């Protein structure tokens, strides 16, 4: 197959499955300067491959990114920019509420609004638009693979610990 066809095929694949770009680049990715680890004294669960996951309460949530530690999705700079940057989250939150005409939860519980917006941003980043009723489990390092969820929950904690 000529190089131009391979390039076009890769571009179409990236459009359909944005998260797959990271999977394809895993072998050649360099370690990220954005390091995140479980809290001191906490070891990663047996189902975790990246070393950044924490134990999750339900079996369905016990999912990691399945990457090597140096390629953990929660360590990607995009995670900080697209999923954890408060200005990006506020903009995404405002846009979604304006389009759907939703109640402004941010006035009642800022961290909850930011946490849920971060989950939506993660899914959009990794899986693209899913459509009505389609759901994805966020990995434990993020859970939107498990370090992600915990990075989101650590940044925007629920005062009652119920997430």
Q: What is the pLDDT of residue 91?
A: 92
The pLDDT confidence band at residue 31, using thresholds 50, 70 and 90, is: very low
Q: What SS3 string covers the chain?
A: CCHHHHHHHHHHHHHHCCCHHHHHHCCCCCCCCCCCCCCCCCCCCCCCCCCCCCCCCCHHHCCCCCCCHHHCHHHCHHHHHHHHCHHHHHHHHHHHHHHHCCCCHHHCCHHHHHHHHHHHHHHHHHHCCCCCCCCCCCCCECCCCEHHHHHHHHHCCCCCCCC
For 121-143, the pLDDT digits (tens) are 988 888 888 878 777 777 666 64
């Amino acid at each position: 197959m000529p190089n131009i066809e391979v390039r076009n095929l890769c571009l179409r694949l990236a459009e359909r499955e944005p998260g797959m770009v990271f999977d394809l680049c895993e072998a050649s990715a360099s370690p990220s300067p954005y390091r995140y680890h479980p809290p001191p004294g906490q070891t990663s669960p047996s189902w975790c491959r990246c070393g950044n996951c924490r134990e999750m309460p339900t079996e369905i949530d016990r999912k990691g990114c399945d990457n090597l530690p140096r390629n953990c999705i929660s360590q990607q700079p995009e995670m900080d920019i697209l999923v954890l940057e408060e200005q990006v989250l506020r903009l995404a939150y405002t846009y979604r509420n304006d389009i759907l005409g939703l109640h402004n939860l941010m006035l009642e519980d800022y961290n909850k609004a930011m946490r849920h917006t971060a989950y939506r941003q993660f899914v959009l980043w990794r899986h693209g638009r899913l459509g009505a009723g389609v759901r994805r489990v966020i990995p434990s390092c993020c859970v939107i693979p498990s370090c992600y969820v915990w990075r989101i929950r650590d940044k925007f904690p629920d005062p009652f610990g119920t997430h």
